[in-house]
Structure 1
């Protein structure tokens, strides 16, 4: 199983709805809040097929690191606020 390096997702903490996010490798994605039984979760989907989409079960926090396992191997994403 291949392990990919750390990719940073730049998130605007002021936006409360769907937002386009930029990644440290220059690609883009979308972060969408979703209502779930336990509260709000955040769905991440990316335009670059090298990055698997994932759901974060809590509000993104600056510095959070999420490990995502996909058919292509493990990827690590870090959340970083933009101003």
Structure 2
């Protein structure tokens, strides 16, 4: 049995990271982060759910951009915040 493609993949676009040096929002407020996630709709770089502010998830909710990619070196997985699953 094959798994159906996540319909939220339609939101994925070719993007460039807006702040390749770190979480866009943490850099603005001077906060640390744990791991980074790249929004696959607009290039927003946000911090992961293990970070104090969870900016990637917050961005997904406010902007309606459901798919992120790990922005950690050597990682290329995608995550859908709507379905709470890897895609």
Whether TM-score is above 0.5 comes out as: no
Taking structure 1 as the reference length, what is the TM-score of the superposition? 0.34
Calculate the TM-score normalised by the size of structure 2.
Answer: 0.33
Greater relative contact order (Cα 8 A, min sep 6): structure 1 or 2? 1
